[in-house]
Chains A and B, each alone.
Chain A
Amino acid sequence: MGTVPSALKHCLSYQHLLKEQLWIGEPAAPPPAAPHPGQESQACGLPEYIKIVEVGPRDGLQNEKVIVPTDIKIELINRLSKTGLPAIEVTSFVSSRWVPQMADHKEVMRGIERHPGVQYPVLTPNLQGFHSAIAAGATEVSVFGAASESFSKMNINCSIEESIEKFEEVAKSAKNMNIPVRGYVSCALGCPYEGNIIPAKVAEVSKRLYSMGCYEISLGDTIGVGTPGSMKRMLEAVMKEIPLSALAVHCHDTYGQALANILTAIQMGVAVVDSSVAGLGGCPYAKGATGNVATEDVIYMLNGLGINTGVNLHTVMEAGNFICTALNKKTNSKVAQASFSTGTIN
């Protein structure tokens, strides 16, 4: 806006601002306990606490160009386990023929440290994958449905109905073994093949997954086309069928709308948000475009709103820095970009 003085990167007040007010924190600092403007978040009708589900190691790495060695995956997950994140999606028990990036699912599952209080869900597309996951030590699984027939056909080569039948088998076995199941609904705000998706369809598929026993339904804006308008309409429809406490949003930032969409969701009471460290995971439907929203940017926003997440932003940024270095790529997190350049984090 005005003239540009030089030595600003090292401005102490600026770093001070970020570290104090915005909870970036010192490396050894505990995660923020009661938020400072706690009353304000209540007054606005926002949740006091939001559970962040970290999908970087699975959704993120699966959609990166470079295949990551097993030990790097394990190191990433171990680092994430120390940030305060309550749930970290670890890997996917799909055939390595389809998803070579997740071929080492057993080794990863067995190799990671399991921190108390942290969940390590894994994807299981069918009964076979489920059994394999359990054998490898999984204690929570996820199934992936879609609100679009075309997407279902192109992605897993069957109709929505057929996919639901497969998931029901998984859900039954899981129930017998006391294994919680999380359900995902892809294309909740738009489909790369069908275009517009009607909210009623999202509600219908969500209801099927919830009825079969999924404890939580994560609504995914798979191609990131959603805006606060479509997010609101979709949630209104879904909230008629599923209790709010069982809902999560999984927003992609392909069109830069993710944080605005997440804000809309939390204003409506949604209290579970999926995100990916460093915004790992491009969009397979728009070459060169981004995909997952960055965990760091989500936490920054939630911290600023006085919402508790239990997560230490600084350590997440360090984990992000680690994996970006390993992948030889730039972070997709704007908070990380800005913080590294101001010297707030080194």
Chain B
Amino acid sequence: ALPKRVKVVEVGPRDGLQNEKSVVPTAVKISLINMLSETGLQVIEATSFVSPKWVPQMADHTEVMQGINKFPGVSYPVLTPNLKGFQAAVAAGAKEVSIFGAASELFTKKNINCSIEESLERFDEVMMAARAASIPVRGYVSCVLGCPYEGKISAAKVAEVSKKMYSMGCYEISLGDTIGVGTPGSMKDMLTAVMKEVPVGALAVHCHDTYGQALANILVALQMGVSVVDASVAGLGGCPYAQGASGNVATEDLVYMLHGLGIHTGVDLQKLMDTGTFICNALNRQTNSKVSQASCRL
């Protein structure tokens, strides 16, 4: 049986914008997040406290964090790759943070220049500080269904990394199909392994639509009891590993499917589409959301 309610975690302002070609002015980011806050979304990933040397698109993290309207009942998690970022985030008013692990050694090496084990040790510091400050931490595991460097990723490895991050104190583990190569088959196998180590109530899926498989993969995850799904308004955020290809699944398309299944999300699809239109105009690009495209009668 499918979950009756699904929590949609909106990653557009961070994961989406970080992977767009154009850099968006701070005011536009703030407007985007404010508009998203009005749609009924409960969680909106606002920004990333990484060094602007590595991620210039998120250089204005402090201004964004301080500039947005914080709606009651809405969470605004931010990425914090290390203790320094965590401290800056808290100083800027963050009440929830996220850390990013990966199920691939090679991906971790290429991405943050250390091994998986070493990355988890770095996160330990963040976890300790977060615990002391009563700040919830969400853990991401990248490359759960395939890696751009290693290729195939074993489900057991994903389960191992997820278990470690959960044991460290992450309240939720978001399993990311980073390059979108997964299919309902591999999604099922991976979740079966992970669910042996982490309770399904603490699991989320973060599917990329690079091969058009996202909604089918999400459906399988729902069928297995997962009730938290990440998505990006207008499908913002291309795939850095396949130029011109799409990345994040569009929140509009996800919500359309969930509502069609009679699953409660609390999200107003029309307001969400309007927000997508806003940010696409600002970015001067077409939406990646099919629901938005179909509903546009121009």
Contact = CB atoms under 8 A, between A and B. Distances in A.
Interface of A: 1-5, 8-9, 11, 13-14, 16-18, 20-22, 37, 40-41, 44, 224, 226-230, 253-257, 259-260, 262-264, 283, 286-290, 294, 297, 300-301, 303-306, 333-335, 337-338, 341-342
A226 B147 CA distance: 33
B152 A301 contact: no
27 contacts: A3-B55, A3-B112, A5-B240, A11-B149, A11-B241, A14-B179, A16-B151, A17-B152, A37-B185, A228-B219, A256-B256, A259-B213, A259-B215, A262-B216, A283-B294, A286-B297, A288-B298, A289-B293, A290-B294, A300-B212, A300-B213, A301-B183, A305-B183, A334-B209, A334-B211, A338-B242, A341-B245
Contact of A44 (B188, B210, B243, B259): B188
B296 interface: yes
Nearest to A264: B219
B151 A14 contact: yes
Identify which of B150, B260, B261 gathers the most chain A CB atoms within 10 Å of its CB: B260
Nearest to B254: A256
Nearest to B50: A3
A4 B19 contact: yes
Interface string B227-247: 000000000000111111110
Given A1-B176, A9-B243, 9 more contacts: A4-B19, A8-B148, A13-B149, A13-B151, A230-B260, A257-B215, A259-B216, A304-B182, A334-B246
Nearest to B209: A334
Contacts, number: 176
A78 B189 CA distance: 38
A229 B258 CA distance: 9
B168 to A, nearest CB: 19
A58 to B, nearest CB: 22
- 8 smallest beta-carbon distances between A and B, as pairs: A304-B183, A227-B260, A256-B290, A334-B212, A17-B151, A2-B111, A256-B253, A297-B212
Contact of A3 (B111, B184, B256, B297): B111
Nearest to B245: A338
A227 B111 contact: no
Contacts of A41: 185
A301 B106 CA distance: 26
B151 A338 contact: no
B13 interface: no
Interface in B170-229: 176, 178-186, 188-189, 209-213, 215-216, 218-220
Interface string B279-298: 00000000001110111111
A13 B150 contact: yes
Contacts of B244: 337, 341
B142 A229 contact: no
B257 A227 contact: yes
B278 interface: no
Contacts of A264: 219
Given A3-B54, A227-B260, A342 B241 contact: yes
B212 A259 contact: yes
Contacts of B241: 8-9, 11, 14, 342
B118 to A, nearest CB: 15
B212 A229 contact: no
Nearest to B262: A229
B183 A256 contact: no
Contacts of B189: 40
A16 to B, nearest CB: 5
B260 A257 contact: yes
Contacts of B242: 9, 337-338, 341-342
Interface string B72-112: 00000000000000000000000000001000001000111
Given A1-B140, A1-B142, A228 B55 contact: no
Nearest to A289: B294
Nearest to B290: A256
Contact of B100 (A2, A21, A294, A301): A2
A19 B219 CA distance: 25
B250 interface: yes
Interface string B55-79: 1000000000000000000000000
B146 interface: yes
B246 A256 contact: no
Given A253-B290, A341-B244, A227 B256 contact: yes
Contacts of A8: 148, 240-241
A255 B294 contact: yes
Identify which of B142, B180, B245 gathers the most chain A CB atoms within 10 Å of its CB: B245
B15 interface: yes
Contacts of B245: 334, 337-338, 341-342
Contacts of B106: 13
Contact of A257 (B111, B183, B256, B293): B256
B290 A254 contact: yes
B293 A260 contact: no
B136 to A, nearest CB: 19
Nearest to B143: A1
Given A256-B289, A256-B290, A334-B245, A301 B184 contact: yes
Nearest to A13: B151
A288 B260 contact: no
